[in-house]
Every structure is written in C-alpha cells, then in structure tokens.
Structure 1
C-alpha cells in the first residue's frame, strides 16, 4: 500500500512517497481504508523532529487527522462495523477522564504512525463514527483542530450562554472556535489580519471583528466590545506576542485557553495580572474520545459545516504542507486519498 513516511533521517527532504505491506486487523482492532487527511501546524513540525523524543522513531507516517471507512474488524470488535465511516482519534489511549503521561503521548502522526496511508490498523477504542452530513474532507478536519476548539470552549473554558469570547486569527482551530462559541450562545470577537478575512468571519457569525495589523494594541479596543468588562474566555493561539494583550482584556476570574504559540514560545509578560485578577491560564491539547463524540453529537444536531479551504491529492502532500506554511488559507487544508 502507498504511504508517505519520513525515512532514513529527520527533515522535510526525507519525507517520501513509499510503500508498506497491508496490515491485518487482530483481536479488538479495526482496519480503516483512509479517504482523506487534513493538515495542522503540528504536521509541519514533526518532520523536523520538533517535539524531540516525543516525535517518535523512523520510519514514521506523518499527519494526525483523517477519515476512512472500516474495511475489516478483528475478533471481539463491537464499537464499529464494516462500512462505518470513522475518524481515528488523535490521542489513541485517551478515551476519557483526566490526562496523564501515557494518554498524552500516544498521538497519531508522531510518535504513532499517522493518516497518510491507504490503510490504518487501529484499536476499536481509537476510532469514532462521524455524522453523515459531513463530506470526507470536512470529517478529516475534526480530530485535532475541531476537538481542540471544542475542549477550549467546554471542558477548559466552561463557555455559557451570553459569555464574551475572543478568538485570535482565522486558522483551523480559530474558525472552529468561532462556530462552536456561536453554537453555545456566546458573543464572539475575532481579531484577524485583513479586511477580507474580517468580512468572512462576519458571515460565519462573528459579532465583532478587529484588524490587529491596523490596531496593533488591540487589547483596549477589543475590551470596549465588552462594555469594559473584559472577556470571559480568550482562545489564545499566538503565544509570546499575544498573551500580554490577552491578559489586559480578560475579565477578573476569566479563562485564557492556551492552545498555540504561533508568535513564539517564551513567557514574556507580567505574572501579576494572572495572580491579582485570578485569571485562569489553562493549557489545551486536543482532548479525549468522550469529548470528540460529544462534539460530533452537537455538530450533527446543529448541522455544523467545517470550513475547508483547499483539497490536494494524496501524492501532493509536500505541496499541501508548503501551502499551509504560507498562511494564506482560510479554513482547513486537506488531502483526498
């Protein structure tokens, strides 16, 4: 079967279209014929061994997110049946409960082989059925980006009807956060870098938008959207350069869901804001299977449609990665298998 794998040594130049023998489903396992994959920023980091020893060993099949159809099942499988359309879960060992080291280290696309393959053999505990209203590419976008946004708003952020939520940017996680926050009844502010994207997020339901390039000190300006009260929840995706401003526009007792470090990973801000205003700084790393299934129920109930920007062919993985790295996309970058 065809696979993309990092082989020989780390580095994007060692990511190659290759082949492996077809796997066979054993007891408790399912064989999934993959239909589509979706890229995340993480997938650009893994080939460079950006997560150190947690990245895994070579050869490694990259890419965390995807969808496929169950092709065969092993003995004792009861969660799914042949013909079911399923997404592999990002954390294969985290079905529910609190995170621990084992649950947080068995992630697809490094150190566990990812979705850029024709067939995946997985534990039945590591897949979820997907709603019929989603296309393959839309469903492929869910395991990492969508669940991260859902976790940030629900289990981490406790988003409630009428809350004020600020979302940074228009990447995959950000757009899901906008869609889910509106579903939960929140007032949503989006900061982005262009007038064109401002128009697009307004059409998706954003209540207030601001161009952070024309208003680089956006904390005061966005706080005015809340009547001076501050935000109940901020979906923090920038990291080093955005966190100081997030701390200036979060309300006392509010939550900053720390997801991304796109502008840098160093903590360069006054910690006094966190302490004296009792701000909760909560790290969010995707989520568990129970949360995934809760999210899917909500998406089906409200017919939520993920935003897909562009679809590449399987063999165009490197081109798709270069497109994602360019940052011009609005929505998810996907690959059809």
Structure 2
C-alpha cells in the first residue's frame, strides 16, 4: 500500500435507511478504534444474501456489509504489537466486541458470555464504507502478492464458509462432492473441493449459475427444475451417489431434495440460511442413511487454515466489481430479484 495517507474526518458509507426503506450513500464520521481494534481503509467489500436479511430486519440506519478486505491505517494502543503493522493488507471476519476466549466464543463469537458482541453489517456498521473498525483477534495478514485485493473481500466470509463446508465433510481425494445452490458460495465450494482432489457435481435451477460453476471446477451440472431425473443421473454418474452434499441456497425445496443424490451413509452439509424449519426423518438418522452437519465462518481460530489453503492453491472468488458505493442500491436490488450469477462487490481506490 505504501505510506499511510492522512485519515479524513468523514467518509462515504452505503447504508440501509429503514425510514426511507432504501439503500442510500451517506457522509458519516470516520470511526475511531476502541480497545483491541484497528481502523482499516477498505479496499473492497462484497454483497451476500445475508445482507438482504439485514435489510429486512433493520430498525436503525446501519452501514451494510460483512465481507471486506483492506489496509490498516491506525491502531488503538491495545491492538499494537499483536502481529499487525500500519499498511498491512488484512482480511477479517465481522464480529467486534466479544472476548474471543470464553466457552461461548469457542463455538461461535455470537455466543460470547460477555454479551457485548456486535455483528457488523447487521447490528453494527459494516464494510460498505471507506473505513471500518476491525478487532485484531478477528483478522489475518494477507500476502498481497498472492491476493487480488478487489476480490479478496469475498473470501471473508464466503470463502472461509465454503472452505469449512468442504473440509468438514472429511472426504478423501476421488470422492464425490455435491453442490446444491450454485451461486457465489457454491461456486467457491466447487473450487475448494477440486483443490482437495474431490470430484464435483453442481445442482441449481439457473443455467447461468451452472455454467459458471462448471468453469470453476464442477465435473458435471444438473438443472433440477428442467431435469426431473437429475438425482438418478447423479447416482449413476457417481456409482451410487455423492459422498457428501452441501446446500448453499436458502430455499426449502433445495434442502428437501438434496439427499436424493446422496449415497448411503453420506454427509448432508447445511450452509444456506433457511428461514423456516427443516423437516428431518429421525429414522434416517437412526439407521445411518446420512449424517447432518453444518458450517459457517465459525471462529477466528479456524480462519488460518482456510486462508493458508486459499493462498497455496490460488483460489479466488469470481467477483463482479463495481466502482463506487453509488452502485450499491442497484446491487441490492439485483440480488433481491435473483439476477446475479457471481459475487458482487465494490472496489475502493
């Protein structure tokens, strides 16, 4: 990044205003780091389906975004000497204020026993802004020579979630991995699975998503809307079904049908955020028809493995980069309407 520029007093931020019921770009004060925090000049931020949920539930104006990457420009004294320096390129997760050490934080930082955790982009300001606060516990230094900083934002949290979802299936090279929901998250999972030596099949209802997933590593793809025999075809292709299937979308039919392509004793990995209960037949679990697991960005203690694997294998999300926060309202609307086939991001220069 070179020398750190002087920090301005105000900045632009892409926010959802619940009173106007729309996404707006406001001029707001640049935040000041508190205990354990540093200030990051955001280089890129990407949009996630979870951000749409934040908009639906918002009662106060909040800066959107929980996926970002950038460069450190200032520290709170308590965050100095913690393995970071001015100008470092960093990626980070999206929770501030928790202790990162209690029993709750070892499961997920939203369970912090202090009750002081802040979910950025939801209850606290996120990363669609020129500057943002990051807790040093929740950040990692990036080898900038190995990262496209305009796309790195989508690794935090989409890429890390995708990595965990594949890695936690405990498969071996040559095993089959099914991606149900071939949006940006599923496409990243296809990249990680191929890098782990797995054979990948993709399932979606949009041909554009399937085409992109095939480019990113899927050996075969199937449209479950237009091909009623998709599950039987996958079982034939894979010699009995995939060894694990992961769902990366948020629609109930995808969850209900995913296990149709799973072989006996396989892993059913849940990643997409479903807003309604998921019916499960207990006998399927008792008889070992399949095992249910779930993954998310998890905790920062697990982030290092995902980042190291990403760097080693040159995995990078495909991000459609927009120039300027003024693009954010259109990005949100296009995602709401299901018109996007890759991750969507804003790059700051």
How high is the TM-score relative to the length of structure 1? 0.87
TM superposition shift of 1:194: 4.7
- Work out which of the residue numbers 158, 165, 176 in structure 2 matches 1:145: 158
TM superposition shift of 1:261: 4.7
Alignment of 1:1-337 (within 5 A): 1-7=11-17, 9=18, 12-13=21-22, 15-49=23-57, 58-76=60-78, 77=80, 78-92=82-96, 93=98, 97-99=106-108, 101-103=110-112, 106-132=118-144, 133-154=146-167, 156-228=168-240, 230-238=241-249, 239-261=251-273, 265-268=276-279, 270-337=281-348
CA distance in 2, matches of 1:256, 1:302: 26
CA contact (8 A) 2:180 2:258 kept: no
Deviation digits for residues 272-298 of structure 1, max 9, x if unmatched? 333323422223232222332211111
CA distance in 2, matches of 1:283, 1:12: 33
CA distance in 2, matches of 1:215, 1:279: 24
Task: Determine the structure 1 residue equivalent to 2:3.
Answer: none
Structure 1 residue runs of 5 or longer lacking an equivalent are 50-54
CA contact (8 A) 1:130 1:139 kept: no
TM superposition shift of 1:323: 2.0
TM superposition shift of 1:309: 2.9
CA contact (8 A) 1:145 1:173 kept: yes
TM superposition shift of 1:153: 1.2
TM superposition shift of 1:118: 1.6
- Shift in alpha-carbon separation, 1:97–1:200, aligned structure 2, 3 A: same
TM superposition shift of 1:245: 2.2
Pairs aligned (count): 326
Range with greater deviation from structure 2 (138-147 or 26-35) = 26-35
CA contact (8 A) 1:89 1:128 kept: no
Deviation digits for residues 196-223 of structure 1, max 9, x if unmatched? 5444333322122212222135322212
Aligned to 1:170, what secondary structure does the other structure show?
A: coil
CA contact (8 A) 1:310 1:334 kept: yes
Aligned to 1:209, what secondary structure does the other structure show?
A: strand
TM superposition shift of 1:120: 1.4
CA contact (8 A) 1:38 1:141 kept: yes
- Shift in alpha-carbon separation, 1:29–1:100, aligned structure 2, 3 A: closer
CA distance in 2, matches of 1:280, 1:114: 35
